[in-house]
Structure formats: C-alpha cells, structure tokens
A and B are shown apart, each in its own frame.
Chain A
C-alpha cells in the first residue's frame, strides 16, 4: 500500500540555519503531496502542497518540490526562526476522480530552533 517515510527527529537548529527535512513516498497512482505543521497543543495546519510532478509548493519561506523520479518531497527553508519550532508531517493523498482521498502521513519530524 501507499506509504510515506520522513527523516527521524528531533532536529535542532540555530536561528537562521538552513533546514531540510527529507520525505519519500510510495504510491500506486499519482498522489498529491503535502506538508502539514503541528504547533504544540494544536491541530495540523497545511503548510504547502503540490499536486503533480515538478510542482513546487511554497509558503512562509518553506518550499518543497514534487520529484516523481526520486519519489521525494523534501521540505526546505533557507533561514529558520524560533517560531518555526513545531512538528512537521509529510503526507500523500491519492486522487480519485479528481477529488482527494484520505491522507497518509509520515511519522513526523520535530524541529526545535534555538535563538
């Protein structure tokens, strides 16, 4: 079945450091790919998404490119801030008749940014 694998955490960085969180996927069809972020005590918020190969999702300085050839969707940010400290989830959803199905999540990567 479909699955998502993302790098184990926790990841600890200093403010203004470069961030990469790796994510690879296995899917039978042509899924949409997502990054969600979960701040302490809160629900998941969509950070960015890409719906087809070579699409780049971006939001709040974060970027990820849908790479079909490597089945990857790595999350990057050039300069992290303390406020970026959270748990980041990579996810995929198969598309059924043009509509999104349920999300399949990776285990999550906890990011801590120190001042």
Chain B
C-alpha cells in the first residue's frame, strides 16, 4: 500500500518565524505533490516533483515559499518568513506508478499568529 508520513501534524508559530514542513513517502512513487487547503480557496497545488525534479511550481504563492526534494524518500516545504495568511492545512501526496493514483498524507495544520 502507498503511504505518506507528514510532520509535524500541527504547528503554531508567530509571524516572521521560519516554518519547515516535512514529507516522507513510505512506498514507491515517481511524483510528489504539495497542496494547500484553506476555507477560502479550497485545495490548491503548490508544487510537484517528478523523479525528485521540480516540474511545476506555479502554485507557490511567493518567494517566501520554497520546496526541496533531495531524494525519493524526503521532501520539505519551507516558509520564511511566515505570515498569518499562510495558516492552512498543507498536504503532501505521492503518485503511485502501480495504480496511477495519488495518495495523500494526513496533512500539517499550520497556524501563524
């Protein structure tokens, strides 16, 4: 079964602080996606990687956001500096080449005060 671990599950920070969200796929995949969910905008793609290479980052809001995938087993999404409008649930998902289906992690709920 495909699976994704995200950490932390909850993060509360103050405006201006750096935030790093982590994603660890625990099964085979060829693509990894970062999504953001808010009440106002719903689910939005931020960036996705194919074979560890960023393919589409047009959804990244601004330069304060950056994402890396140093290897197939790990990805990070960093916000520096964070702002209250960044408060949202951030999901990582992987695409299984066996089922051609995206599997989502449990999400990180970020609150920026």
- Give residues in A with beta carbon < 8 Å to B: 32, 36, 42-46, 49, 51, 89, 93, 99-100, 102-108
Is B79 positioned at the interface, with any CB of A under 8 Å from its CB?
A: no
Contact B102 A100 (CB under 8 A): yes
Contact A43 B56 (CB under 8 A): no
Contact A103 B102 (CB under 8 A): yes
Q: Is the interface of B mostly helix, strand, loop or mixed?
A: strand
Q: How far is the CA of A46 from the CA of B95 in the complex (A)?
A: 12
Q: How far is the CA of A69 from the CA of B105 in the complex (A)?
A: 34
Residues of B within 8 A of A43 (CB): 4, 91, 104-107
Q: Which segment of B14-22, B40-48, B68-76 sits at the interface?
A: B40-48
Residues of A within 8 A of B48 (CB): 102
Task: Give the size category of B's interface with A.
Answer: 20 to 34
Is B27 positioned at the interface, with any CB of A under 8 Å from its CB?
A: no
Residues of B within 8 A of A108 (CB): 42-43
Is B65 positioned at the interface, with any CB of A under 8 Å from its CB?
A: no
Q: How far is the CA of A108 from the CA of B43 in the complex (A)?
A: 9
- Shortest CB-to-CB span from A5 to chain B, Å, is 11
Most chain B CB neighbours (cut-off 10 Å) among A51, A99, A102, A103:
A102
- Shortest CB-to-CB span from B59 to chain A, Å, is 8
A100-B95, A102-B33, A102-B56 in contact; A46/B45 too (CB < 8 A)? no
Residues of B within 8 A of A105 (CB): 42-43
Given A43-B106, A102-B48: 11 more A-B contacts, CB < 8 Å: A42-B107, A43-B104, A44-B43, A44-B104, A45-B104, A49-B101, A99-B97, A99-B100, A102-B45, A103-B35, A103-B45
| Residue ID in chain A nearest B2 by CB atoms | A46
- Shortest CB-to-CB span from A100 to chain B, Å, is 5
